[in-house]
Amino acid sequence: MKKLLFVPFLLLAIFFQASAQDDAIQKFFSKYMDDDRFSRVYISPKMMQMAGGFLKSNAGTDKEAEELGTLISKVKGIRILSSEEVDGKSLYGQVMSTLTKNKFEDLMDVQDKGSSLKFMVREEGGLVKELLMISADGKDFTLLSMLGSFTYADLNMLADKTDIPGMQQYGKGSKGSKGAK
Amino acid sequence: MTAQAQSKSVKAMYEKYKSNDDFFHLELGGNFMNFAQGFKIDIDENDMATVAKSIEKLNFFNLPDNSDQNKMEYKALLKGLEKERYELLMETTDKKSGISIFSKGSTKISDLVVLVSGDEGDLMVFEMKGSFDQELVAKAVNYKSKN
């Protein structure tokens, strides 16, 4: 009987585990989402799926466009939080300390005069489940999160072939230290 | 999947303002093709025509100018739509202005609600009802971008 009771709880736990698709911004920095100094952008997985479908349906015989469409469909949401009226450096420090405590690993770090740009990843089973871009420069601050399930080759392709937010910076950085990982 | 009743949150907003003289409401139903042709939107391709025909009803609301009230109304609509299990497709906000696009359905998008808030506190709500295939919408977007 006890075993039978355990089953629905287990199923419930699995369901919640499966539906826990929160990105780092939602998990750790949601307080800034209601802050008027910040701009927000969110693109849902469904929207990405539509964009991917759009590419695939127009690919015709173009194999590369079809692959890119499939890759774009893998993006399970993009969220951006940015401001031009905060203390970028101090916020950068706060964000870094929260992220390193929460198992995000450094992927790329560019420090140039007063500006900082960092890419961090959360990996599971050898795949990148979340890519974060954190940039700070004077009063500017941007935090970008992209959820999905990518190989590093996928990320390089996204950087090379798309205008997805953050990917341009990723492309520039990874060309400096070819094959970031 | 056919169109369900109007969103309860949007309907509540409409009921609240319908007697206000500064509240603007436009409703388009029936043959959307005629409406589109009237506005000289080029829709001679099959896919685009199918998308247009899929729209069963279009509602447009423009709320009276009242920045504080509209800010609250925007937030109430966001919460209400989430409660009604509308899914946020896309959102972009910048200080006072913002656009949020909500939809219902999975492979077939059945309802679309778009909230547009302006810098000066103006708030517009678009509601489209129908049944749209995701891939079909994608094709239509591509067709429009080519023309």
Q: Which domain CATH number covers A161?
A: 3.30.310
Q: What is the pLDDT of residue A20?
A: 47
Per the structure, the count of domains in chain A is 1
Size of interface A-B (CB pairs under 8 A): 49
Instruction: Identify which has the larger pLDDT, B105 or A99.
Output: A99
Q: Is A138 part of any domain?
A: yes
pLDDT tens by residue, A21-61: 688 888 888 888 888 899 999 999 888 888 888 777 777 77
| A172 within domain boundaries | yes
A120-136, pLDDT tens digit by residue? 999 999 999 999 999 99
A136 vs B136, higher pLDDT = A136
Given an 8 Å threshold on Cβ–Cβ distance, is A44 in contact with B87?
Answer: yes
Residue B95 is assigned to a structural domain of this protein: yes
Q: Which residues of A touch B135 (CB under 8 A)?
A: 50, 53-54, 57
A131 belongs to a structural domain: yes
The secondary structure element, H or E, covering residue A148 is strand A140-150
By the CB < 8 Å criterion, does A70 face chain B? no
pLDDT > 90 fraction of chain A, expressed in percent and rounded? 34
Contact call for residues A147 and A23 (beta carbons, < 8 A): yes
Q: From B107, which residue of chain A is nearest by alpha-carbon distance? A: A46
Say what the pTM is: 0.76
Region of residue A103 (left: phi > 0; alpha: psi -120 to 50; beta: else): left
Cβ-contact A130, A122 below 8 angstroms: yes
Q: Which domain holds residue A129?
A: 78-176
Question: Which chain A residues are closer than 8 Å to B98 by Cβ?
Answer: 40
Give me the residues of B, 28-87, that contact A with CB < 8 A: 87
State which residues form the domain around B58.
8-146
Burial B102-113 (b: 16+ CB within 10 A, else e): bbbbeeebbbbb
Say which of B88, B135, B142 has its CB closest to residue A44: B88
Q: Identify the band that residue B64 occupies on the pLDDT scale cut at 50, 70 and 90.
A: very high
Residue A67 maps to a domain: no
Q: Is residue A167 part of a domain?
A: yes
* Confidence class for position A18, pLDDT limits 50, 70, 90: very low
pLDDT at A121: 92
| CA A134 – CA B29 distance, rounded (Å) | 47
| SS3 call for A9 | helix
Is B1 among the domain residues? no
Q: Which among B134, B78, B77, B81 is positioned nearest to A45, based on CA atoms? A: B134
A77, with CB counted inside 10 A (0-12, 13-18, 19+), is: buried
Asked, for residue B3, whether it belongs to a domain, the answer is: no
* CA–CA dist A64, A171 (Å, integer): 18
The helix (run of H) or strand (run of E) holding residue B27 is strand B24-29
> Are A108 and A119 contacting, i.e. CB atoms less than 8 angstroms apart?
yes
Evaluate whether B80 touches A26 at the Cβ level (below 8 Å): no
> B72, B90, B97: best mutation site toward chain A, by most A Cβ within 10 Å?
B90
Q: Give residue B41's pLDDT.
A: 52
Mean pLDDT highest for which of A22-31, A67-76, B82-91?
B82-91
End-to-end CA distance of chain B: 30
Which has more pLDDT, B34 or A97? A97
Number of structural domains in chain B: 1
For the cut 70, the answer to whether the pLDDT of residue A180 exceeds it is: no
Residue A17 lies in a domain: no
**Residue range A92-100: mean pLDDT, rounded:** 89
- Taking residue A67's Cβ as centre, other Cβ atoms within 10 Å add up to 16
